[in-house]
Amino acid sequence: MDEVFRAINDPSRRLLLDALYESDGQTLGELCALLPEMTRYGVMNHLRILEKSELVTTQKQGRQKFHYLNPVPIRLIQDRWISRYAEPRVGAIAGVKARLETGAHKMDKPVHTYKSFIRASLDEVWDAITNPEKTSQYYYGTEVESDWEVGSTLNYRYPDGSLASDGVILAIDPPKRIEFTFRALWDEKLAAEGPAREVWELVESNGSVELKIEIYEIGPLSLEEFSGGLAYIVAGLKTLVETGEPLAPSA
């Protein structure tokens, strides 16, 4: 967290984060235009600092490099010091139509990305993602339900057995990657936007696991309403795996 505080201590870096909050997935050229008095190298240096602190993630597509705001570190700070007793916004990512081409999903530029480093093994993080007893401790009290095969359903259920969301597994490579659709069922307007598509990837990195989540073609209501919800989920997953305890419950 020291790196996060140092990163946001600079007004130019805060401006870059604000710009990504308003419009995620910007190129270096677009971000340089926000700081016309600064050299391209200066903006690149600020972005490197934000990447090192995990506040920004990047993805290359062709010759372009897109920058995304990663709210997970801020969420961890918020849960630790600011809103430990505040009720988190209920939600997860929803709202996109699936697109299949010759049996494989076409991967376009993601609408949003999340990233977190977790001090654990691949198997431990994968278990937290696929074990209903674990998801109930960080995924807003819901238990995941699936047989974890391509084409199988992937649902999250409330303690009373009712469905919070449903989806279908599009691709899976345990314990490294899963791609699936996600349709919110707790709100009629969100459900009407259709299923979202999420990609969860796990990569071993220097004794820890890098968890990266990409969101594709999410509906505008869902993005506005629930983007913070997934940040809470990732923060909760990280805390549970690293400490064995869930985040402090809301009041």
pLDDT digits (tens, 9 = 90+) for 91-135: 333 333 333 333 334 446 788 888 899 999 999 999 999 999 999
Q: Residue 2: what pLDDT?
A: 75
pLDDT digits (tens, 9 = 90+) for 45-63: 999 999 988 899 998 888 8
Q: Residue 79: what pLDDT?
A: 63
Among 110, 116, 14, 113, CA closest to 69:
113
Question: Is residue 241 within 8 Å of residue 128, measured between CB atoms?
Answer: yes
Question: Is residue 46 within 8 Å of residue 13, measured between CB atoms?
Answer: yes
The pTM of the full predicted model, rounded to 2 decimals, is 0.61
CA atoms of 244 and 118, how far apart (whole Å): 13
Q: Residue 86: what pLDDT?
A: 41
Q: List, for the chain, all residue ranges whose pLDDT scores fall below the cut of 50.
A: 83-107, 250-251
Domains (ranges, CATH) in the chain?
Answer: 2-69 (1.10.10.10), 78-243 (3.30.530.20)
Q: What number of CA atoms fall less than 13 Å from residue 221's CA on the CB side?
A: 12
Q: Residue 105: what pLDDT?
A: 44
Q: Residue 137: what pLDDT?
A: 96
